[in-house]
Structure formats: structure tokens, C-alpha cells
Amino acid sequence: GSFLGPVDLTGLDSLFSSGEKELALQVRRFVDEVIRPDIADWYDEAVFPAEIIPELGRLGVLGMHLEGYGCPGRTAVEYGLAAQELEAGDSGLRTFVSVQGSLAMSAIHRHGSEEQKNEWLPRMAKGEAIGCFGLTEPTAGSDPASMLTYARQGAHGDWILNGSKRWIGLANLADVAIIWAQTAEHGGGRGIRGFVVPTDTPGFTATPIRQKLSMRASVQCEITLDEVRLPASAILPSDSAIGLKGPFACLNEARYGIIWGVMGAARDSFNAVLDYSATRTQFGTPLGGFQLTQAKLADMAVAINKGYLLAHQIGRTKDADPTKLTPAMISTGKLDNCRVAIGIARDSRQMLGGNGITLEHSPLRHANNLESVRTYEGTDEVHQLTIGRTLTGLSAFTTG
Ligand code: TGC
């Protein structure tokens, strides 16, 4: 049988090497042993299980695709396979791995000084230090160029940060925050620079956002920066981090992981409902014997196969030559795999009937999580307009 289970109707199994499949199964075993038994309680009680972070380090999934500095140095496809196994467990768990590896670690790895890399990356790969990534603000979501957080330089070259960030994953647990701030009064997007901020710096506060109906087994925070004073060496020094292309290069990595991750949530929803339709009997027949059930199962399976094919194509392209991985390609995968996955999770809940509304079954939990996933790292609309700009050569992000 296929390592992806009964949903694999198109020979997806043959697209992956035995080493890649073994890695996926290793992550799946971790999810089965460490996540599945407790995820319903964590979600119900809004608890992020921070104690598993060092275990994720030992599993080799933190900064998984990065080379050197104690990072695992895995391929893009291996990283993708791990992401989909983690998200089959819960999107909140995969989000932690994305924020740590694709956002915080990749910002330091790509744009940081040797000193910053040596200080943070080996410990972050082991899960001994936690990172977060502060781009979004209360008034700057899809439009990060409008950020208000400001970094001014003091007389001795030190930097003083003021402002706020919102929706920042794990900021309350983080040891280090990558904070993006405006440095030039009229710099627009090009004045934006990144800073490596130890979270124990005076003036840094992170407050968890409460009453979430999505990503409950994960934490997102509001950060306030009140005269946060940093040495001159805290800036990410690389030219690659001047302007918005600095954070966007990291967002590309996180968006790439999502293309795969959400297929795990879709597959887990599908498996839950396939099992249920074999055992649940109504009108004297297992649900799976009804044509309306089979039509839904067939449509879901077809959509999941297409989603994996898209993720695979994008992953192999990234491994062969990362410069060929265009923003439009990433937007295509992120846009469609997210909306396909949330549709499957919702249809699965429908097929579970009333039993689908508790945490005994995964689909509604996945569907609620996917509300966040289809919104963060670029909404559907941002990705549609990115694709639209590529197709037409016209930017429709502003009316000005
Ligand atoms: P635009 O003029 O398009 O670009 C500005 C500069 O950035 C470059 N660029 C990219 N570089 C690499 N990869 C990409 N995908 C890039 N897209 C653009 C571009 O070449 C340009 O460079 P330069 O050298 O000319 O300055 O900028 P714009 O302001 O028109 O952007 C348009 C838009 C809407 C596409 C962009 O702003 C966008 O993608 N918005 C969505 C923002 C988003 O995804 N936010 C999620 C933030 S994640 C976060 O804060 C925490 S969530 C995770 C958690 O913590 O739980």
C-alpha cells in the first residue's frame, strides 16, 4: 500500500524515495505517540505543549531545511513531507515548526551575521531556544509596508525600537524575536530592516491573544516594544534584508511549508470520515454504501491527490533550483491547497453528522485551524492578486 494510505489513487507513493518515505513515517510515529493522545485536551484547554519542543529538536524538524550551524540540512521535499505529517496532527504544531524554522531561523540564517548565526541557530535547531517573527501589526496585516514600528539610532549606533506587533506565534515563550521595523522617515517599504531582539530586553512585552476559535493548541501574541534598546550589532546586516524583500524571503519559506502542511490536515480529515463511513450505519446501510457519501469521498480524494501533486511539483522545483521557485508558484500552491484543505475538513465534519462537532473527531478542529492557515502568510486575496499581477503585469493591490 501507499505510505499516504487509501487516498493515494494516483501512485503518489512512487514520487518519493524510500528515504523520504521513511522520514515521513518517522514524523508520523512521533505524531501518533506524542500528539494524538492529547491533542483534543490541549485544544479544548487552549494549551500549547511547550514540553515537546526539545523532542521536535531531536526529531530533526527545527530549521530542517537549513544547512550548517547544527541544522539538519534536509531537502525541501523532506521538509514538506514532515510538515504534512505534523499538520495531520494539528496545524498549531506545524505552525510552531514553521515559525521556528522557516521564519525565525531562516531570517537569521539568510540575513544574519556570523555572530548572530552562531549564537542562535544551534540552540534553536535543538529546541533549546525558541524564536518568533514579528512582521504583522494591529494596523498592518496584508500591507506590511505600512508598519508603524520604528527603529531610531542613538548617538552610539545603538537602536531604540517602539511600536507593536500582533498575531505573533509563540512570542510569550520565545527567547528571541525577529522584529521588522521602519528605520527611515520616508523610506516606505525600503526603509524596513530586521532586528534580533532577545525577549528579556527591557521594554519588550508579549501578551497571548485569548478567546481564539482557531489554533487553540498554539499561542499567538500581541507584542509591545517600548523604548527597546539594542546594540548596533542587533540589526540583520545583510543587504538581502534591506526593505520588504527581507521578510518576504522568509515568508516564502513558510508559505512553501504550508503548501504541504495543509494536505496533512486534509488527509487526516479524509481518513477520519472514511473510517466512520465504514462503521456508521443508518437506514440499515453503512454510510459508505450511499451514493451521496461516495460522491463526497471521491471528490475529496481527487482534490487531495491534486494537492499532493502540486506540492510535489513545487518541492522538486525548489530542490532542483531554488531560483526557479517564483512568488507566483508559491502563491498558486498556498492559495489552492489551503482552500481545498478547508473544504475537505468542512465536508468531513458534515459527513460525521452531529458526532463531528466534538473533539472526538479531528475534522472540525482541522477546519477551524485552517481558517488561520488560509489567512496567515498571505490571504487568499493576496495570493490571487500576486498571481493576477504575474498574469497581467498590472498591480491591483492599491487603488492609488
Ligand atoms: P512589492 O513592491 O511587491 O515588494 C516589495 C519588495 O519585496 C520583494 N518581494 C519579494 N521578495 C521575495 N519573495 C517574495 N514573495 C516577494 N514579494 C515581493 C519585491 O521584489 C520588492 O523588492 P525591492 O527590492 O524592489 O524593494 O510590495 P508590496 O507592498 O506591493 O507587496 C504586496 C503584497 C500584498 C504582495 C505583500 O505585501 C504581501 O505579501 N502581503 C502579505 C503579508 C503577509 O503574508 N503577512 C504574513 C505575516 S507573518 C507574521 O507576521 C506572523 S504569522 C506566523 C506566526 O507568527 O504565527
R_g (Cα) of the chain, nearest Å: 21
* pLDDT tier at 126, thresholds 50, 70, 90: very high
- Tens of pLDDT, residue by residue over 242-253, are 999 999 999 999
Calpha distance 126→59 (Å, rounded): 9
Buried b (16+ CB within 10 A) or exposed e, 180-203: bbbbeeeeebebbbbbbbbbeeee
Atom number of ligand 1 nearest to Cα 376: 46
Is 104 near ligand 1, meaning CB less than 6 Å away? no
Closest by CA position to 141, among listed 389, 393, 396, 382: 382
For residue 400, the model assigns a pLDDT of 73
Q: How far is CA 268 from CA 91, 93, 94, 273, 322, in A?
A: 11, 14, 14, 9, 30
In this model, does residue 188 exceed pLDDT 90?
Answer: no
**How many Å lie between the centroid of ligand 1 and the Cα of residue 248?**
4
Measured from the CB, is residue 249 less than 6 Å from ligand 1? Answer: yes
> Does residue 142 line the site of ligand 1, with CB under 6 A?
yes
Q: Rounded CA gap, 208 and 218, in Å?
A: 10
What integer best gives the mean pLDDT of the chain? 97
Contact assessment for residue 363 and residue 308, using Cβ atoms and an 8 Å cutoff? no
Tell me the HSE value of 3 on the side-chain side, using a 13 A CA sphere. 23
184: CB partners within 8 A, 6+ apart: 190, 191
Residue 204: φ, ψ to 5°: -95, 120
Amino acid identity of residue 385, one-letter, is L
Vertex 138: Cα angle to 136 and 139 (nearest 5): 90
DSSP 3-state assignment of 300? helix
Centre of ligand 1 to C-alpha 62, Å, is 24
Task: Indicate the residue type of 18.
Answer: S
**pTM of the predicted model as reported, rounded to 2 decimal places:** 0.97
Q: What spacing in Å lies between the alpha carbon of 183 and ligand 1's midpoint? A: 17
Residue 189: which pLDDT band, with cuts at 50, 70 and 90?
A: confident
- Cβ of residue 388 lying under 6 Å from some atom of ligand 1: no
Distance from Cα 319 to the centre of ligand 1, integer Å: 22
State the CB neighbour count (10 A cutoff) for residue 29: 12
The type of residue at 180 is: W
Reply yes or no on whether the pLDDT at 362 is more than 70: yes
105: left (phi over 0), alpha (psi -120 to 50) or beta: alpha
Q: Per-residue pLDDT averaged across 358-369, rounded?
A: 98
Pairing mode, if any, of strands 281-282 and 131-134?
Answer: unpaired
Q: Is the pLDDT of residue 373 over 90?
A: yes
Confidence of residue 187 (pLDDT cuts 50, 70, 90): low
Predicted pLDDT of residue 376 = 97
Percentage of the chain modeled with pLDDT above 70: 100
**Does residue 65 register a pLDDT over 70?**
yes
Given a cut of 90, is residue 186 above it in pLDDT? no
Alpha-carbon span 378 to 212, nearest angstrom? 19
User: For 223-241, what is each residue's pLDDT tens digit?
Assistant: 999 999 999 999 999 999 9
Q: Whose CA is nearest to atom 11 of ligand 1?
A: 245
pLDDT tops 90 at residue 40: yes
Q: For residue 14, with 0-12 CB atoms within 10 Å meaning exposed, 13-18 middle and 19 or more buried, which class applies?
A: exposed
Residue 202 has pLDDT above 90, yes or no: yes
Q: Is residue 85 annotated as a catalytic residue, yes or no? A: no
pLDDT of residue 184: 85
- Could you read off the pLDDT of 266-325 as tens digits, one per residue? 999 999 999 999 999 999 999 999 999 999 999 999 999 999 999 999 999 999 999 999
Count other Cβ atoms within 10 Å, centred on residue 126: 16
Distance CA 382, CA 375 (A): 9
CA of 314 to the centre of ligand 1 (A): 19
Q: Which atom of ligand 1 is nearest to the CA of 144?
A: 37
Q: 3-class SS at 331?
A: helix
For CA atoms 97, 100, 104, 107, give the dihedral sign: negative
Pocket lining: 84 vs ligand 1, CB cutoff 6 Å: no
Closest by alpha carbon to 308, among 61, 78, 6, 81?
81
| Residue written as grid cell 521513511 | 22
